[in-house]
Amino acid sequence: MHLLTERAPAKINLTLHVLGRRADGWHDLESLVVFSRGGDCLSLAAGEPLSLVVDGPTASAAGALDDNLVLRAARNFSKHYAGAKLGAFHLVKRLPVAAGIGGGSSDAAAALRLLARANGMSLAEPGLAEAARETGADVPVCLGRQARMMRGAGEKLGNPVALPPLIGLIVNPGQPLETKSVFAKMNIAPGTESDFGAHPNFTSNMPIDALMAALRKGRNDMEAAACRLAPIIGDVLAVLSAAPGCRLARMSGSGATCFGLFKDCRSAARAKKAILRAHPGWWVKACVLN
């Protein structure tokens, strides 16, 4: 049986500014998003009855199959393209769950890319974008897997931004954290604008020093609330910040995953080894982000 495969990388929010909360309850965000070059792996046997099998190192935390975003994405795809091929999905889950790196959203986006390939569709098909929005707030940005600004509740996407490859270390301490809990802790009333400060500007082909300077002017506005819910996030940030060669340490998304940007691969590898020696239960991955 011929299988189609897609990589579902981690989504990292290099910045995440909360501009306020709309009257409908959704939070308005502004975030520079990049992707790792590794992550989960999703395959599709096209033409088979719709199904999903999940295995891999973090499969046990992935929850009930019927609630999995891969199947939700496939069902939304089917609503827009009646009669299109679906199929049997196999997900190898490697990314931590409820971790602020869009693992489930990236899996769903990979499912939509696979279904587009199986049906000879372009990724520019309007129905694909609609299915992505219907599946989850982070699925649209994960569909293209390109560095770009994400705004609103995730539905407004800027043009792709060409960034230099960033040497990253992604660390998750093993404590799941729900996005809605972090937003609740921030306690922003509907119809209220925040006043945390403007977002820095990012342009394609920025020199690495200019990019790092701009990133340092940014922040993750969810970090303080997440640290109150999961104080171990502060420990992760402290460990990353203290690692030789670390240029920037920050939480991704709503946490609890944090990332460090390093000056070179050797520094990141040394930090990974030291962190795992001191915290063998943490999930630590060196990666390239862009």
| Local structure of 46: helix, strand or coil | strand
Tokens of 257: 């995953």
**CA nearest to 25, candidates 220, 136, 195, 184:** 184
SS3 189: coil
Cα distance between residue 249 and residue 242, in whole Å: 9
Question: Which phi and psi (to 5°) does residue 54 adopt?
Answer: -120, 130
Q: Which residue numbers are catalytic? A: 11, 138
Q: What are phi and psi of 175, to 5 degrees?
A: -110, 110
| Residues 120, 41, 35, 265, CA torsion sign | negative
Task: Specify which residues 39 forms β-bridges with.
Answer: 9
CA-based torsion, 197, 260, 179, 113: positive or negative = positive
Per-residue DSSP letter, 61: G
DSSP letter, residue 67: G
Q: Tokens for 83? A: 């009669």
